[in-house]
Structures are given as C-alpha cells and as structure tokens.
Amino acid sequence: MSDLTDLSQGDLFAPPDPIVTCKTIDELHGLVRDCSKCDELAEYRTQAVPGVGPPDARVVFIGEAPGRWEDKKGEPFVGDAGAYLTELLEKIGLQRSQVFITNIVKCRPPDNRNPKTSEMDSCAPYLERQLALIKPDLVVLLGRFALERFFPKEKITEAAAVPRRKAIGGRELTFLPMLHPAFGIRRQDLKPEIERQFWKIREVLDAL
Ligand code: URA
Ligand code: SF4
C-alpha cells in the first residue's frame, strides 16, 4: 500500500499546469503575453515577445532576450542583429519564414541589461514547451546565454559550431551553439567566423 509521501509526490490535488498542458503554440504564446512572473520585466516591457515561425519548423533559433525594437514590434530579432540573422539564413539557403525564432527570456530587460538567472529560470518552462510542441530537428543556440542555459559548463568560444545532443522533456534534441549575430554587428572582423559557423547548420540539416 502506498503511504502519504507517495501520494504527495504526484501533486494529485494541484491544478494542472497550463504551460505543460497547452496543446498549441498559439495557446502557449497567449500565456506568455499574459505572463507577469518577473515583476520588473512585466512592468518595463511594452509587450512580451514569445517567438515567431511555423509551429512545425525544422530549426529553432534561441537568442538572449528582446531588445528595443523587438519590444516595440512584439517579434524577436527585428533590429540590426535580426537583419544580419536574416542575411545569414539566406546565405545557407533558408528563408526566415521557414525557421522558428525565440529567446531565452521573452521580455526585454531594462536598458538591455543581461537577463537575471531568476528571470531565465522563470521563463524556461515556456521555452521547454515550445521545443516540446515544435519538435525541431535542430536547435541553434545564439550566444552565451542560450548555450549556458542548456550546457551550463561550456564556453561559447570552444562550443561554437560543435553539434551535441541532449534530452529535453524526455526527447533527445540536437543543439548547435554559435556566436550571437550581434557580435558581427559590433565587430565586423568576426563576420567570416560567424558565417563559417552558420554553414554548420546547413551541414547538420543535410546529414539528418
Ligand atoms: N538579440 C537577441 O538575443 N534576441 C532578439 O530578439 C534580438 C536581439
Ligand atoms: Fe514571464 Fe518570461 Fe516575461 Fe518573465 S520574462 S515575465 S517569465 S514571459
């Protein structure tokens, strides 16, 4: 016979978690838009930026957090880094409309400060549910914050362009970390290296 500790483990009497039980990306993005788990971000943002792209995309790109333009438009990667991302995608034969684009944190941090660990933790269930619903072949991690979220011990300089597998929510996914495209805006000399890393996406997709 099970004892009381067994019963309490399963949260038998807790209401179902709406993030985990939602069935579509649209439904999930509705929850993100209404979210106010991070007091400071919820107050500061114009709007939350859940993500954009086909709900069955083969590739998901994960950046850091919305910036000024993303916060205004409600769409990720629409500023300078976004224009560069679109250009990079086209170079490897992908249209922006074919891929799903989102961020670790869905609301803009004040003055573009780094997201706090507590904010990344609070926002993680949305990202995990996005991955569970989309079931992509490849997840591209743009920059240090995205890398550290999934592979906390790794350094972006060493991990960039090296594919790796990890189970998220019981499903094995392929991840490819790379430098954030914003680096290419700030440091033109890094553009060839960023482009080299981007070609790895094509290579991984073609090998699947
Ligand atoms: N940089 C990011 O990491 N995400 C965006 O959405 C825009 C710029
Ligand atoms: Fe909610 Fe994520 Fe925005 Fe925090 S960053 S308020 S968890 S949507």
Distance CA 104, CA 202 (A): 23
Enclosing domain of residue 130: 2-207
The b/e string for 53-79 (b: 16+ C-beta within 10 A; e otherwise) is beeebbbbbbbbbbbebbbebbbbbbb
Give the helix ranges, DSSP H, for 25-116.
Answer: 25-33, 39-44, 68-73, 80-91
Tell me which of 17, 34, 36, 38 to substitute to probe ligand 2's pocket, judged by most ligand atoms within 8 Å of the beta carbon: 38
- Provide the CATH number for the domain around residue 116: 3.40.470.10
What's the mean per-residue pLDDT of the chain? Answer: 94
Please give the pLDDT value at position 32.
98
Kindly report whether the global pTM for this prediction surpasses the value 0.85. Answer: yes
Query: What tens digit of pLDDT does each residue of 5-50 get?
Result: 444 455 677 889 999 999 999 999 999 999 999 999 999 999 999 9
pLDDT at 13: 78
Ligand 1 centre to CA of 150 (Å) is: 17
Residue 169 pLDDT: 86
CA dist., res. 106 & res. 114, Å (int): 13
Ramachandran bin of 61, using left for φ above 0, alpha for ψ from -120 to 50, beta for the remaining angles: beta
Q: How far is the CA of 1 from the centre of ligand 1 (A)?
A: 52
Q: Is the pLDDT of residue 96 over 60?
A: yes
Number of compact structural domains in the chain: 1
Question: To test the ligand 1 pocket, which listed residue (49, 71, 103, 179) has its Cβ within 8 A of the most ligand atoms?
Answer: 103
Question: Which pLDDT tens digit goes with each residue over 163-199?
Answer: 999 999 899 999 999 999 999 999 999 999 999 999 9
In degrees and rounded to multiples of 5, residue 163 shows phi and psi of -70, 150
